[in-house]
Amino acid sequence: MSTTRPVSRFPVPTLDALPDDVRTRILAVQEKSGFVPNVFLALAHRPDEFRAFFAYHDALMERPGNLTAADREMIVVATSGANSCQYCVVAHGAILRIRAKNPRVADQVAVNHRKAEITPRQRAMLDFAMKVALASGEIEDADFVPLREHGFTDADIWDIGAIAAFFAMSNRLANFASIPPNEEFYLMGRVPKAKPEAPKPSA
Amino acid sequence: MSTTRPVSRFPVPTLDALPDDVRTRILAVQEKSGFVPNVFLALAHRPDEFRAFFAYHDALMERPGNLTAADREMIVVATSGANSCQYCVVAHGAILRIRAKNPRVADQVAVNHRKAEITPRQRAMLDFAMKVALASGEIEDADFVPLREHGFTDADIWDIGAIAAFFAMSNRLANFASIPPNEEFYLMGRVPKAKPEAPKPSA
Amino acid sequence: MSTTRPVSRFPVPTLDALPDDVRTRILAVQEKSGFVPNVFLALAHRPDEFRAFFAYHDALMERPGNLTAADREMIVVATSGANSCQYCVVAHGAILRIRAKNPRVADQVAVNHRKAEITPRQRAMLDFAMKVALASGEIEDADFVPLREHGFTDADIWDIGAIAAFFAMSNRLANFASIPPNEEFYLMGRVPKAKPEAPKPSA
Amino acid sequence: MSTTRPVSRFPVPTLDALPDDVRTRILAVQEKSGFVPNVFLALAHRPDEFRAFFAYHDALMERPGNLTAADREMIVVATSGANSCQYCVVAHGAILRIRAKNPRVADQVAVNHRKAEITPRQRAMLDFAMKVALASGEIEDADFVPLREHGFTDADIWDIGAIAAFFAMSNRLANFASIPPNEEFYLMGRVPKAKPEAPKPSA
Amino acid sequence: MSTTRPVSRFPVPTLDALPDDVRTRILAVQEKSGFVPNVFLALAHRPDEFRAFFAYHDALMERPGNLTAADREMIVVATSGANSCQYCVVAHGAILRIRAKNPRVADQVAVNHRKAEITPRQRAMLDFAMKVALASGEIEDADFVPLREHGFTDADIWDIGAIAAFFAMSNRLANFASIPPNEEFYLMGRVPKAKPEAPKPSA
Amino acid sequence: MSTTRPVSRFPVPTLDALPDDVRTRILAVQEKSGFVPNVFLALAHRPDEFRAFFAYHDALMERPGNLTAADREMIVVATSGANSCQYCVVAHGAILRIRAKNPRVADQVAVNHRKAEITPRQRAMLDFAMKVALASGEIEDADFVPLREHGFTDADIWDIGAIAAFFAMSNRLANFASIPPNEEFYLMGRVPKAKPEAPKPSA
C-alpha cells in the first residue's frame, strides 16, 4: 500500500497468514497490476467471503455479453458516486478510463451521468442502473422500455441490474470498513502515453 | 411455486436444464423445506452468480459468532423493509419468526425497528445496520461507540455491516427481477403448534 | 391487552373512570372482537377526541360507496407502511386480510404496493393514496386522470384521499404515543379455517 | 367567497341543501367572522365528516390547558408550512397573528420556525411538532426530554402532538381538494388599529 | 432597524466606517424606502462582496426583457420558500406584492407555487426555477420544452435560471448569517390604499 | 475549447463582439493558463453578470485571511460534488490539486469529504460548508461551536459560508447552462513533474 491511511477499520492479516488460494489470488493481482488493491486486503480476514465476493465480481464483470468492459465499469462508477463510495469511484474510475480509452469519462459519470460524454444507449443503461442503486423498489415495467428500445436483451438488462446491485453491496462494505483507494489508482488511465494495465480481478 | 405470479421478470430454467450442483442444491432445499424459495429459481439462469450468491449468503448467515441466527435474520428484515423489498421481508420474516421463536418480531422490525420487542443490544445492532443500508457514506467512528458499549466485537460488527451490505444487493436483485415471496413463507412461524422448519440455505 | 409493552406513553384510564359512552363503545368492541384494540385505550384519556376520532373513522371506513371494505383497509395499510406506523400496519393488516379474504395482501402492500396481488384499479387507488400520504402538496389535476380512467367517481376519490389523510393523523398519534399492536392482530386472517371476525369499529 | 378560484375540486353544496346543524354552524361562523372560511364549504358535502372534523378541531384547539391559543396556532402554521398547505398557512396564519398579537410571527414560522421571534419554550414545542409532522416514526424517548425541561406536562405534550397530527390530516385534505384560502385571511391581524376578530371555530 | 433582533451573526459596521460608495448606496436606499433593508447592513462589512452582490442583483432584477418585475420577484419568493429563507421570503414578498399589484400572490407562491393565482406561463417559469433551486443537476433538454411552448426566449430562460441561482446564494448568506427581515416588509403591499414604494436596489 | 461538446446551452459570443474589459479579462486568462475556462465563455453573453460574477469570485477566493487557497478550493469541490456540478468539480478539482500540492484530495472530497486526507480543522470547515450547501435553513448557533474550537474567526467563518453560497449559485448556473469542463482541467495537478499553473481568476 502506498498510502499511509489504514487499509480498513477491521483487521488486515499478513499474507502468510492467509489460506493458499486467497494468498495466490492476491499475489497474482500484485504481479499483474504492480500493487494490491486495498479491497483484497480488507476482505482477506474473511476467506469465505473473500472467495464469494471475487467469484461474484468476476461472474458479473468478466462475463461475455453485449455490455463492453467499459459499460460495466461505467455502471460501477456512476452508482458508486451516488453511494458516496470513495474507494469504488477512484479504483473503478481508473479501470473505466483504461477500458473506455477515455481519460475524462470516469470523472464525469462519478459526478453526474446526465452530462457525460456517453452514447444515448449508455445513458439509458446508467438511468436504469441508478434506479436500481437508489430506488429499486420503484422499478416497474415502464423502466424496461427505454432499455429495449436501445436493443438491450434480457441478459444485458440482468447484467446492468446485477452489477448495480453487487456494487450496492461493495460500496457499503468499503464505506463501513473505510477502505481508502490505493494511491496508484488516481493517475491510471489519465496520461495517454503511459498505458498501465488495469488490475484483472479487482473490485 | 404455489403463487400464480411469475417467479421473475427474467428466464427461469427448468430443473433438468441446470448444472448438477445447482440442481442438487435446489433439490436439497426443496427436500428440507417442502418448497423451493423463488430466489433459487430466479438466480438459476446464472449458475456462476447462483453459486457465488449462496456461498456468500451462507458465509454470512451461518457463520459461528456472537450474533444469533435470530440477530442475523433481524438485520435482514429491518433493512429489507427500508429497501421496500417484499420478497426479503416476507421470506426472511418467516425465518426470523422461527429463529427468534417470536411470531411478532418480524412484522415489527419490518415496519419500524425502533418500536420492536427487542433488546437494547439488538436495537444498537439494527441502528448500525440501517445506517449501512441507508447512508453508508456517513458512517463515522462515532457510530461504532454504541456497538462497543453493548459488547460487540470487531468480528460482530463486520457481521452486522456485511449482512446489511449483502442484502442491499439481494433486495435490489429481488426488486428489479420482481421476485414474489412464495406463499408458504407468509404463515411460517406464526402458529405456535405447527413448527415448520426454516429452509436451510435460503435467501 | 395481551402484550406486556405499555399501551401508550400517555395515561391509560381504567374503564370505570371513563364516561359512559366511551366505556360502552370499548365494551362493545371487546364483546365483538374478544379484546380491546390498544388505540381505544390510548385515546380514552381524551373523551372528546376519542368520540371525534371514532366518529370520523366510521364515517370514512363504513360509508357505503364503490370502494369495498378491503379497498379502504388496503389504503390504510399501504400508507401506514410508508409512515412507519407499526400499530396501524399490524392492526389494519389483520382487518385487510379478513376483508379481502387474502392472507398475503396486507404483508405485500405494507412493504411495496407496486408488487402486490391487486388489480390495476387498486393500484391506481393506492398510487393516489400514497401521494396524499407523502407529497400532498404536489397533487395536480393530472393525478386524477388515472383514477377517472379506472371509473372512480368524485365521491370515490374523496374517499381515497380522505382515508389517506385520516390515517396520516392516526399514524402520527400512534407513533408519538408509541401504541403497540395487540398480540391478537398478528395472526388474524392468516389461517384459512380459523375465521376470527374483524373488530367492527377499530382503527 | 371573495376569491374567484373554486372552493374545492369536489362538489360544494348550497347552504339550503345542508343538514340543519351543518348549516347552523356555517351561519354562525359567517355571523362571527363576516365570511365563511372555505374549509367549511369544502367539507359540507360530507356532513358526518364535517361534524367529526370540527368536533375534533375544537377539542384540540379550544381545550383549556397550558398551551395558549397562540401556541396552538403556531403549531398549525409551522407544520402546515412544512406540508406545503397554502390554505392552512394563510388561514391559521391570520388567527395566529391575532392570538399572538404579533403581525410578524406567522410569516416567520411558516418559512422557518428556527428563526422566529418565539421563546425557547415555543421553539422546543415546535421542534417536537415538526418531528410529528415530518418523521413521526423516528420519535423516541429522547425527544420528550427538552419538552419536560421546559415544563411541558404529559397533557401539554399530547396537545402538541395531537395538533400536529390533526393538521397532518387537514393539510392533506386541503391539498388534494385544492381549497384556496379566503381573501379575507391575508390581511387579518396585520394592521394594528383594525382588530378583526378571529373566526371562532375555523380550521 | 425596527426589530430588536440582531441584523446578523457577523459584524455590522456603522455607516461612517464604510467606504463612500457603500455608504452612498445605503443612504440612497434609506432615502427611497424609508429604511435600510437588513441585507445591506449585513453585507457592509465586506465592501467588495457588497459591491459585487448588488451589481449582480441589479443586473438580473432590473434588466430589460420579457420577464416583468413581478415575474422576477415571484421567482425569488418561490425559491426562497423552498430554501427556508425567512429574510428573502418576507422582503421579496413585499416587493412582489407591489410589483404584481396583488396582495395575495407572495404568500401563495412562498408556500406552494402549484396553487398560486398565476398564469400557466408563470407556472412553467416557476417549475423551471424550482428545479434550478432544488435539483439543478437533473435539468435536461426536456425541461426547456414547456418554457419554449410558453414563448420564453433563450434570454428569458437565462434570466429565470440565473435569478434562481443568484438567490440560491442569497438565501444561504441570509440563512448562515441569520439576517432577519425588517419589520417594514411585513405589511408592504398588503393594504390597497397605502402604496409604499418598493425599495429600489434591494435584495 | 478543446472539447467538442458545446460550451453552453446559451449563446457564446465571439471574442471580438465582447466589451473591451470582458475580452481583456478573457485574453489574460488565456495568456496565463493556456486556455479559456468555459465558464468565462458561457457568461460572456451577459457582460454585467460576467463582471459581477468574477468580481464576487475574486473577492472570495483571493481575499487574504486564515483560509489557505487550498482550503477555499476544497470548499468549492466538496459542495460542487454535493450539487452534482461536473464543471465545478473538474475545474476546481484541478486548482485544488495544485494549491494543495496533493494529487488525490480533490477526487476524495468530491465523493465523500468524510473520508478525505484532510486535517480535523478542514473537516470541521467542510462540515459547515456542506450544511450551507445542503440545509442552510437548519444552521444554528451550535454549528458554529466546532468551528470556533478549531480557531476559526468570524471572518474565516464568513469566508467558508460565503464561498459555499457563491458556488451554490455557480453550480446552478453551470448545471442549467450545461457547461462542460475544459479537457485541460482533467489532468492538471496530477503529474508531479509537470506543474501547470492554475488559471488565476477562474471559476
> What is the C-alpha to C-alpha distance for residues C128 and B103, in angstroms, rounded to an integer?
33
The whole-number pLDDT of residue A203 equals 43
Any CB–CB contact under 8 A between B114 and chain D?
A: yes
The chain E residue lying nearest D8, using CA atoms, is: E115
Residues whose CB is less than 8 angstroms from the CB of residue A174 and which lie 6 or more positions away in sequence, other chains included: A39, A42, A85, A86, A87, A88
CA angle, B52 as apex, B88 and A48 as ends, to 5°? 105
Binned at pLDDT 50, 70 and 90, residue C99 comes out as very high
Q: Do chains E and B touch (3 or more CB pairs under 8 A)?
A: no
Least confident of B91-95, C122-126, E80-84, E195-199: E195-199
In the predicted model, is pLDDT for residue A31 greater than 90? yes
Answer whether E169's CB lies under 8 Å from E75's CB: no
> What is the C-alpha to C-alpha distance for residues F45 and B88, in angstroms, rounded to an integer?
55
Any CB–CB contact under 8 A between B112 and chain D?
A: yes
The whole-number pLDDT of residue F193 equals 57
Q: Would you say how long chain C is, in residues?
A: 203
Neighboring chain B residues of A83 at a CB cutoff of 8 Å = 136-137
Average pLDDT over residues C92-103: 98
> What is the C-alpha to C-alpha distance for residues D146 and D124, in angstroms, rounded to an integer?
6
Neighboring chain A residues of C127 at a CB cutoff of 8 Å = none
| Candidate from D10, D136, D158 with C-beta closest to C175 | D136
Count of CB pairs separated by less than 8 Å, A with C = 4
In the predicted model, is pLDDT for residue F200 greater than 90? no
| Candidate from F85, F111, F181 with C-beta closest to A89 | F111
Any CB–CB contact under 8 A between D114 and chain F?
A: yes
Angle between helix axes E69-82 and E154-177 (nearest 10 degrees) is: 50
Q: Do chains D and A touch (3 or more CB pairs under 8 A)?
A: no
Place of cell 415546535: D126
The pLDDT tens digits for D157-166 are 999 999 999 9
Residues whose CB is less than 8 angstroms from the CB of residue F69 and which lie 6 or more positions away in sequence, other chains included: F61, F99
In the predicted model, is pLDDT for residue C200 greater than 70? no
Q: In this complex, which chains have at least 3 CB pairs below 8 Å with chain E?
A: A, C, D, F
A25-62 exposure pattern, b = at least 16 Cβ within 10 A, e = fewer: bbeebeeebeebbbbbbbbbbbbbbbbbbbbbbebbbe
Any CB–CB contact under 8 A between E103 and chain D?
A: yes
For chain D, the average pLDDT equals 94
Any CB–CB contact under 8 A between C141 and chain E?
A: no
Which of C114, C127, C134 should be substituted to probe chain A, the one whose Cβ sees the most A Cβ atoms within 10 Å? Answer: C114
The whole-number pLDDT of residue E5 equals 86
The whole-number pLDDT of residue E202 equals 43
Which is nearest to E129 in space by CA: E95, E88, E166, E154?
Answer: E166
Q: Phi/psi at D14 (nearest 5 deg)?
A: -75, 160
Binned at pLDDT 50, 70 and 90, residue A202 comes out as very low
> What is the C-alpha to C-alpha distance for residues F88 and F179, in angstroms, rounded to an integer?
9
| Candidate from D10, D63, D175 with C-beta closest to C136 | D175
Q: What percent of chain C has pLDDT over 90?
A: 91
| Candidate from F81, F111, F191 with C-beta closest to A187 | F191
Interface touch C84/D49, C-beta < 8 Å: no
Amino acid at B80: S
Q: What is the largest CA-CA distance in chain B?
A: 52
The pLDDT tens digits for B38-60 are 999 999 999 999 999 999 999 99
The pLDDT tens digits for A100-149 are 999 999 999 999 999 999 999 999 999 999 999 999 999 999 999 999 99
For chain A, the average pLDDT equals 94
Q: In this complex, which chains have at least 3 CB pairs below 8 Å with chain B?
A: A, C, D, F
Average pLDDT over residues F48-57: 98
Global pTM value: 0.94
In the predicted model, is pLDDT for residue D150 greater than 90? yes
The pLDDT tens digits for A141-184 are 999 999 999 999 999 999 999 999 999 999 999 999 999 999 99
Any CB–CB contact under 8 A between F85 and chain A?
A: yes
The chain A residue lying nearest E140, using CA atoms, is: A114
Answer whether D23's CB lies under 8 Å from D75's CB: no
Average pLDDT over residues C157-166: 98
**Which regions of chain D does DSSP assign to beta strands (E)?**
none
Q: Is D193 exposed, middle or buried (0-12, 13-18, 19+ CB in 10 A)?
A: exposed
DSSP code per residue over chain C: --SSS-S-SS----GGGS-HHHHHHHHHHHHHHSS--HHHHHHTTSHHHHHHHHHHHHHHHS--SSS-HHHHHHHHHHHHHHTT-HHHHHHHHHHHHHHHT-SSHHHHHHH-GGGSS--HHHHHHHHHHHHHHHHGGG--GGGGHHHHHTT--HHHHHHHHHHHHHHHHHHHHHHHHTPPPPGGGGTTTTSSS--PPPPTT--
Interface touch B187/C186, C-beta < 8 Å: no
The whole-number pLDDT of residue A5 equals 86
Which is nearest to C176 in space by CA: D60, B109, D141?
Answer: D141
In the predicted model, is pLDDT for residue A56 greater than 80? yes
The whole-number pLDDT of residue E201 equals 46
Any CB–CB contact under 8 A between D112 and chain F?
A: yes
Binned at pLDDT 50, 70 and 90, residue B193 comes out as low
Distance from CA of B163 to the nearest CA of C (A): 20
Binned at pLDDT 50, 70 and 90, residue B5 comes out as confident
> What is the C-alpha to C-alpha distance for residues C51 and A136, in angstroms, rounded to an integer?
42
Hey, is F116 helix, strand or coil?
coil
List the grid coordinates of A101. Answer: 480509452
**Residue D16, number of CB atoms within 10 A of its CB:** 6
Q: What is the ipTM of this complex?
A: 0.93
Neighboring chain C residues of B180 at a CB cutoff of 8 Å = 115
Q: Phi/psi at B75 (nearest 5 deg)?
A: -60, -45
Which is nearest to D51 in space by CA: B35, C82, C10, C52?
Answer: C52
In the predicted model, is pLDDT for residue D123 greater than 90? yes
User: Residue F34 region, left (φ>0) first, then alpha (ψ -120 to 50), else beta?
Assistant: left
Binned at pLDDT 50, 70 and 90, residue D6 comes out as very high
The chain D residue lying nearest C162, using CA atoms, is: D173
> What is the C-alpha to C-alpha distance for residues E86 and E73, in angstroms, rounded to an integer?
15
In the predicted model, is pLDDT for residue D199 greater than 70? no
How much of chain D is in helix, strand and coil states, percent to nearest 5? 65, 0, 35
**Residue E120, number of CB atoms within 10 A of its CB:** 10
Interface touch F112/B140, C-beta < 8 Å: no
The whole-number pLDDT of residue E176 equals 98
Q: Do chains C and F touch (3 or more CB pairs under 8 A)?
A: no
> What is the C-alpha to C-alpha distance for residues B172 and B160, in angstroms, rounded to an integer?
19
Place of cell 393539510: D171
Neighboring chain F residues of A89 at a CB cutoff of 8 Å = 107, 111
List the grid coordinates of C18. Answer: 371513563
The whole-number pLDDT of residue D197 equals 52
> What is the C-alpha to C-alpha distance for residues F97 and F78, in angstroms, rounded to an integer?
13
**Residue E2, number of CB atoms within 10 A of its CB:** 7
Q: Phi/psi at D6 (nearest 5 deg)?
A: -60, 150
Any CB–CB contact under 8 A between C165 and chain D?
A: yes
Answer whether A109's CB lies under 8 Å from A123's CB: no
CA atoms within 13 A on the CB side of F164: 29
Q: Would you say how long chain A is, in residues?
A: 203
> What is the C-alpha to C-alpha distance for residues C127 and C117, in angstroms, rounded to an integer?
15
The whole-number pLDDT of residue B201 equals 46
**Which regions of A35-126 does DSSP assign to beta strands (E)?**
none
Q: Is the dihedral of CA D18, D22, D24, D29 positive or negative?
A: negative
Distance from CA of A137 to the nearest CA of B (A): 5
Which of C45, C169, C178 should be substituted to probe chain D, the one whose Cβ sees the most D Cβ atoms within 10 Å? Answer: C169
CA B134 to chain centre: 17
Binned at pLDDT 50, 70 and 90, residue D5 comes out as confident
Residue by residue, pLDDT tens for chain E (203 residues) are: 334 789 999 999 999 999 999 999 999 999 999 999 999 999 999 999 999 999 999 999 999 999 999 999 999 999 999 999 999 999 999 999 999 999 999 999 999 999 999 999 999 999 999 999 999 999 999 999 999 999 999 999 999 999 999 999 999 999 999 999 999 999 999 986 544 455 544 44
| Candidate from D110, D112, D191 with C-beta closest to E111 | D110
Neighboring chain A residues of B44 at a CB cutoff of 8 Å = none
Which of B1, B38, B86, B172 should be substituted to probe chain C, the one whose Cβ sees the most C Cβ atoms within 10 Å? Answer: B86
Measured between its terminal Cα atoms, the distance across chain D in Å is 16
Any CB–CB contact under 8 A between A110 and chain F?
A: yes
Which is nearest to E13 in space by CA: E43, E36, E35, E45?
Answer: E45
